[in-house]
Amino acid sequence: MKLKKFALGALAVLVVGGTAGWLSLDKETRGLLAAMPTNRDLLFWSQPQRDAAFRAMDRISLLAKWHDIPAGSTPSPLPPGPPLKLQLDVDAYMAGQRGAALLVLQDGKLRLERYGLDFDRNGRWTSFSVAKSLTSTLMGAAIRDGFIKSLDDKVSVYIPEMKGSAYDDVSIRQLLTMTSGVKWNEDYADPKSDVAQFNNHKPEEGVDSLVSYMRKLPREVPAGTRWLYSTGETNLVGILINRATKKPLATYLSEKIWVPAGMEQKATWILSKTGQEISGCCIQAAPRDFARFGQFILNGAVVNGKSIVPEGWLADATTSRTTIGQPGRGYGYQWWTYDSGAFTARGIFGQGIFIDPKRKLVIVSNADWAGGARDPGASASREAFYQAVQKAVDDEAAAGPHS
């Protein structure tokens, strides 16, 4: 399938390092960039625009700026394993998901790897809110490194500009679990929602754009009494880590995870208007490196025999800290949880890293769901796929090693 190309008039407003930078790009990349929309509000792009943009967010300086997340020189291996015997048609599943990448690691071995939408293992696909779970892991690292004293510290201790706002008395723990009680609208279909508007907000002079937006939000209920999904909360978590560590999040991510976990390619992190990584969203990475991150978490986030996070952190982060109104599900520290012990990082339009410690499973999904940001049908289909993989692993175990 070849991507539909849009009017070349868009080239007049694209800025890709000037003429020399444009000519240095390969033909495929130039074709992708020619298809890019001039509208920055990606929630309202057409499907062909999303197909083009989700693999090229960090090649379009009109839409965003970014920081690189350098990788090391020695990628960790992903040895092949025997193909999974799934009781479903994987090609049909990929088509229904409009999948760009689908990988299954089991016991550290790559047992399924498929690509679609003219994408392949060498490209970088955007994460959307999968980035929240990486931000959470950096919070654990910052506590382990002594930059942050306690999850019970108040947000305003690290972000003084929040004093006097609804976040003044909110703890870091309440930010991580999205139980601040502050009003927020995460409706992806509403152009006037907070999630659609925060990154286009004109900040007060000298104030970070995200802080400027978030500190004006009103309190709705007492802190700690209600869960409400809020990308804005994760954005504050990221700013807090940045303030505490005095390092860009991309640098800290490279130091704590990307290099020691053996990522194969550099990744990138989209920035806000005032130059801060948007920590609730938009890390561009190769699918195999998303899989390596999942395996890193499954292995306890261990580097040279020591975990980068405090003892007990991952157990707390990946099990339910608050109810979300769905039977058998919960929310931890920026991870979606299952009562079964599995947990997942999730992003709109079909991004995900599903981790099942019991079965030593990591499942990575990159996609552009046809039904929109949340697409209930595609979401249900993905849950069914997770269950099919779990069943295949269970059937293998029951059959024994000589089956």
Tell me: pLDDT of 282 over 60: yes
pLDDT, residue 145, reads 98
State the DSSP string of 340-396. Answer: TS-EEEEETTTEEEEEEGGGTEEEEEEE--TT-SS-HHHHHHHHHHHHHHHHHHHHH
Q: In angstroms, rounded to a whole number, what is the distance separating the alpha carbons of residues 294 and 71? A: 16
CA distances from 77 to 102, 264, 291, 329 (A): 18, 9, 11, 33
- Could you give phi then psi for residue 273, rounded to 5 degrees? -60, -30
Q: In angstroms, rounded to a whole number, what is the distance separating the alpha carbons of residues 347 and 126? A: 9
Task: For residue 36, give the nearest of 47, 49, 27 by alpha carbon.
Answer: 49
For 319-346, the pLDDT digits (tens) are 999 999 999 999 999 999 999 999 999 9
Q: In angstroms, rounded to a whole number, what is the distance separating the alpha carbons of residues 108 and 105? A: 6
Task: For residue 366, give the nearest of 384, 376, 354 by alpha carbon.
Answer: 354
Fold of 90-399: Beta-lactamase (3.40.710)
> Which of the two residues, 14 and 371, has the higher pLDDT score?
371
pLDDT, residue 38, reads 52
Q: Do residues 362 and 295 make contact, with C-beta atoms less than 8 angstroms apart? A: yes
pLDDT, residue 402, reads 58
Q: Do residues 257 and 299 make contact, with C-beta atoms less than 8 angstroms apart? A: no
Residue with tokens 């929240």: 132
Task: Please state, as a whole number, how many other Cβ atoms lie within 10 Å of the Cβ of residue 380.
Answer: 10
**Average pLDDT over every residue of 387-394:** 98
Domain with CATH 3.40.710.10 in the chain: 90-399
CA distances from 263 to 71, 237, 255, 266, 295 (A): 6, 24, 11, 8, 11
Token digits for 384?
């069914």
Mean pLDDT of the chain: 90
For 10-56, the pLDDT digits (tens) are 332 233 333 444 444 455 556 655 655 555 577 888 999 999 999 99
Q: Do residues 54 and 100 make contact, with C-beta atoms less than 8 angstroms apart? A: yes
**Average pLDDT over every residue of 265-290:** 95
Which residues in 62-76 are b (16+ Cβ under 10 Å) and which e?
ebbebbebbbeeeeb
Q: What is the DSSP letter of 321?
A: S
Residues 6+ apart with CB under 8 A from 27: none
Amino acid at 2: K
Helices in 10-160 by DSSP H: which ranges? 18-24, 27-34, 47-53, 90-97, 130-144, 155-158
**Average pLDDT over every residue of 378-384:** 98
Token digits for 88?
């479903």
3-state secondary structure 232-279: HHHHHHHHHHHHHHCCCHHHHHHHHHHCCCCCCCCEEEEECCCCCECC
For 153-212, the pLDDT digits (tens) are 999 999 999 999 999 999 999 999 999 999 999 998 898 999 988 877 787 888 888 999
Q: In angstroms, rounded to a whole number, what is the distance separating the alpha carbons of residues 181 and 175? A: 10
Give the predicted TM-score (pTM) of the model: 0.91
Tell me: pLDDT of 363 over 60: yes
Residue 330 DSSP SS3: strand
What share of the chain has pLDDT > 90, as a percent? 79
Residue 293 DSSP SS3: helix
For 78-129, the pLDDT digits (tens) are 999 999 999 999 999 999 999 999 999 999 999 999 999 999 999 999 999 9
